[in-house]
Amino acid sequence: MAAPKVLTSVAELRSFRKSTNTKVGMVPTMGALHAGHATLLRKIRPLCDLSIMTLFVNPLQFGPNEDLAKYPRTFEADLRIAQNENVDAVFAPEISQLYPPEYSTYVKENVLSQSMCGIFRPQFFGGVATQVLKLQNLVQPDLSLWGLKDAQQFLVISKMFKDLNLDTEALAIPTVRESDGLALSSRNTYLSPEERQKAPMIFQSLTRIKGELEKSSSLLPQSLLKEERQKLELSGFQVQYLDCRAVPNLEVAHSGIQPTKAYIVAIAAFLGQTRLIDNVVLHPEQWPEILY
Ligand code: AMP
């Protein structure tokens, strides 16, 4: 497999993009690639003629007390993974290329981004939306591929594409997990060995809730969510939210689960200093944007 072409400036990307008019697929990442990212790169390959991975730790989506400075950066290893997955080009710009000091334009989605992670990370979805719209304008992909690990992020991005009439397709792949159920994340490296052992409890709770809710459509999610939340808190997790919400608009599923709709059961919880997010999908067959 040939090494991907590495593009580090907006000018280089534009001239690369102008040299082709084939079907372009984009996989945006912040680097520190793991098997979840590799799966995205593998799955987009047969769907496009040219695959472009973007690699940029987006400062806009980090809050003032978050982990921007210590976010893992593993550029050489990332390039090897991209090469193994037959990626054509990697766009890895310097911050100054995208956000020069005079930068002043921001995108905000006002509904889906106001719940769950949006409450605890108020800058997050605006930062993501702004960055993704810039990447869309630069790369001009026909298709982009995302991970359901960040299901709320995928829904916010899809809504932005729809609201702003972008002529592009966005699909998402199921969350890639360790064998014990922990969702792969670049941030898992922050976990101590003891925390790493405990972390799969999150997926166990989500799986139990999914099982119960899919078994009986008359069951109300609220008491089940409360029970599992308490279990996790007794085991040392600081739970920010544990919600069951409908796809695609993220309404709270107060009155139970309808068989004709997809839902997510989603959580954010601190384990020590590390913030973990995860979710499971109920009735995934009702969510046409999932790519298996
Ligand atoms: P990030 O580098 O964390 O910004 O993630 C880049 C892309 O990889 C996003 O679309 C994520 O949703 C996706 N991703 C991250 N972790 C996983 C995972 N465990 N399984 C599937 N996709 C993932």
Cα dihedral sign, 68-69-71-77: positive
Q: How far is the CA of 200 from the centre of ligand 1 (A)?
A: 18
Minimum-distance ligand 1 atom for the alpha carbon of 177: 19
Q: Give the pLDDT score at 130.
A: 98
Nearest Cα neighbor of 211 from 107, 127, 282 is 282
Q: Give the pLDDT score at 70.
A: 95
Q: Contact, 71 vs 32, CB < 8 A? A: yes
Cα dihedral sign, 154-131-34-237: negative
Per residue in 49-78, is it b (16+ CB within 10 Å) or e — as a string? ebbbbbbbbbebbbeeeeeeeebeeeeeeb
Q: Give the pLDDT score at 216.
A: 87
37 is catalytic: yes
Q: Give the pLDDT score at 22.
A: 95
Nearest Cα neighbor of 174 from 211, 148, 195 is 148
Q: How far is the CA of 278 from the centre of ligand 1 (A)?
A: 11
Q: Give the pLDDT score at 21.
A: 86
Q: How far is the CA of 213 from the centre of ligand 1 (A)?
A: 26
Cα dihedral sign, 224-227-232-233: positive
Q: What region, left, alpha or beta, does residue 185 occupy, with left being phi > 0 and alpha being psi -120 to 50 degrees?
A: beta
How far is residue 238 from each of residues 50, 95, 165, 213, 244, measured CA to CA in Å?
A: 43, 33, 39, 24, 18
Q: Which residues' Cβ are closer than 6 Å to ligand 1? A: 29-30, 36-37, 40, 146-147, 149-150, 173, 175-176, 183-186
Q: Strand, coil or helix: what is 240?
A: strand
Q: How far is the CA of 186 from the centre of ligand 1 (A)?
A: 9
Tell me which residue has its CA closest to atom 7 in ligand 1: 29
* Residue 241, token pair as written in the block: 């939210």
Q: How far is 142 from 204, CA to CA, in rounded Å?
A: 37
Q: Strand, coil or helix: what is 151?
A: helix
How far is residue 19 from each of residues 15, 44, 180, 277, 288, measured CA to CA in Å?
A: 6, 20, 45, 39, 33
Tokens 């472009």 identify what position? 52
Test site for ligand 1: of 42, 54, 73, 146, most ligand atoms within 8 A of the Cβ: 146
**pLDDT string in tens for the chain (292-residue length):** 899 999 999 999 999 999 988 999 999 999 999 999 999 999 999 999 999 999 999 999 999 999 999 999 999 999 999 999 999 999 999 999 999 999 999 999 999 999 999 999 999 999 999 999 999 999 999 999 999 999 999 999 999 999 999 999 999 999 999 999 999 999 999 999 999 999 999 999 999 999 999 998 889 999 999 999 999 999 999 999 999 999 999 999 988 999 999 999 999 999 999 999 999 999 999 999 999 9
Cα dihedral sign, 35-166-52-106: negative
Tell me which residue has its CA closest to atom 13 in ligand 1: 147
Which residues touch 174 (CB under 8 Å, ≥6 apart)?
148, 281, 284, 290, 292
Tokens 């046409």 identify what position? 288
